[in-house]
Amino acid sequence: MRVPPKKNLLKLNRIFNDNLNRDEFLRLDKNENLQGFSKEVIEDILNMVTSDFLTAYPDASPLYKKLAQCLDIPKEQIYLSAGSDAGIKAVFEVYVESEDEVVVIHPTYAMYYVYSQMFNARLIEVNFDKNLSLPVERITEKISSTTKLICIANPNSPTGTVFSVKDLEKIIKIASENGVLVLVDEAYYQFWGSSAIDLVSDHDNLIVVRTFSKALGLASARLGYLVSTAETVSHLFRVRPMYEVNSFAISLGLYMLEHPDIAKEYVNKIEQSRKWLKEELSKDGIDIAPGFANFVLINVGDSKRASQITEILLNEKIVIKGGFRETCLKPYTRVGLGTLDQMRYFLKKFREALKEIA
């Protein structure tokens, strides 16, 4: 007999990840670190692998300890996860019940939509204006007696926009008065330079999510963490898999925390690339939307042109995003920032594409 899954999962469409790999394609669509690591770093990493390393179950305690030291908080306030994605899922597993409302800014990170559906929540989307602004009051006024969680990626993807820490605190305070949790997803915070993490000590309804995938360049390792009160973390531990992260992730994460200059240098390079690309495009009369992550939104006029350019570049083996359905994103293509050389190559092909559709 055919056994159906839970009813709410029947409507949930998941797609396979594509296989446009880096051997052939310049992936400017995934917000990954495109600079890579030096030979010395790779050598250090390879040297970590021993027979015992491979055969023993992971011991995450050194990474909890190191993170606690870096963040200057007790380790009991940290929950490691297999990518920040798994941390976000844990929050839904622990707190979101059927018919609870989950408020998100829209558009935002894809998995909030997926997890809302997976856990049968009612998703409340608060749209960005056409000019990519979103007054915080529009978020707080959506809070109702059934709201359980507000998810804010800050900086947000795919818009690259940010709320100031002051604005976030306003949201967190009003949410707290209404018994609502706020998840601030700081996947890209290093590119912005600010963080809501200090608010955790004063607000017990705040969960800050971070990743090693972006500025720290470890997307393959699937490593992230949550910071909240020790009580919230103890709740999250109830849904923890036997081993929340693997040994590679632990060692790589520790390595990056012990060598903070690697990420610092990468973040500086991204700023150089952003500045260079903005200046070059302004020579062509093309604007970049103000953004604070490792990608930019380039204004090409409208959704049709954005789709055409995206397609032409794909034929040139450069992957970007374009042809968005959301009104605020329609005029844009989203392009990941890489090294200056990668940006030069992209710009050459981008200019050719613009000529082709003129």
Ligand X SMILES: Cc1ncc(COP(=O)(O)O)c(C=O)c1O
Q: Which residues bind ligand X (CB under 6 A)?
A: 31, 83-85, 109, 153, 157, 185, 187, 211, 213, 219, 224
Question: What minimum distance in Å lies between the beta carbon of 210 and ligand X?
Answer: 8
Which residue's CB is nearer to ligand X, number 154 or number 205?
154
- Rounded (5°) CA angle 304-333-31: 145
Collapsed DSSP state (helix, strand, coil) of residue 105: strand
Residues 6+ apart with CB under 8 A from 88: 111, 112, 115, 151, 183, 185, 209
CB of 85 or CB of 244, closer to ligand X: 85
Q: How far is it, in rounded angstroms, from Cα 67 to Cα 85?
A: 18
Nearer to ligand X, 109 or 115 (CB): 109
CA proximity to 240, closest of 55, 77, 82? 82
| Least distance from ligand X to the Cβ atom of residue 148, Å | 19
**Residue 179 C-beta: closest distance to ligand X, Å:** 25
Rounded Cα–Cα distance for residues 272 and 277 (Å): 9
| Residues 126/139, Cβ–Cβ less than 8 Å | yes
* Helix H or strand E encompassing 155: none
Residue number with CB closer to ligand X (83 or 217) = 83
Distance CA 152, CA 147 (A): 14
Q: Least distance in Å: CB of 138 to ligand X?
A: 20
HSE-up (13 A, CA, CB side) for residue 150? 29
CB of 183 to ligand X, least distance (A): 10
For ligand X, give the closer residue by CB, 83 or 253. 83
CB of 354 to ligand X, least distance (A): 27
Q: Cα–Cα distance between 345 and 241 in angstroms, integer?
A: 43
Is-contact 231 201, C-beta < 8 A?
no
Q: 217 near 35, Cβ under 8 Å?
A: yes
In our burial notation (b when 16+ CB lie closer than 10 A, e otherwise), range 30-66 reads: bbbbbbebeeeeeeeeeeeeeeeeeeeebebeebbeb
- Closer Cβ to ligand X, 86 or 343, answer by number: 86
Closer CB to ligand X, 29 or 167, in the complex = 29
Q: Which amino acid is at 216?
A: L
CB 211, min distance to ligand X, A: 3
Least Å distance, CB 224 to ligand X, is: 4
Closest C-alpha among 242, 258, 172, 253 to residue 213: 253
Question: Which residue is at the shortest CB distance from ligand X?
Answer: 83
Side chain identity at 166, as an amino acid letter? K
Of how many residues is the chain composed? Answer: 358
- Name the one residue in this structure whose structure tokens are 């007790």: 74
Task: Decide whether 174 or 184 has the Cβ nearer to ligand X.
Answer: 184
Nearer to ligand X, 107 or 305 (CB): 107
- Residue closer to ligand X, measured from CB, 115 or 350: 115
Minimum distance of ligand X from residue 222's CB (angstroms): 7
Q: Tell the smallest beta-carbon distance from residue 249 to ligand X (Å).
A: 11
3-state helix, strand, coil in the chain (%, to 5): 45, 15, 40
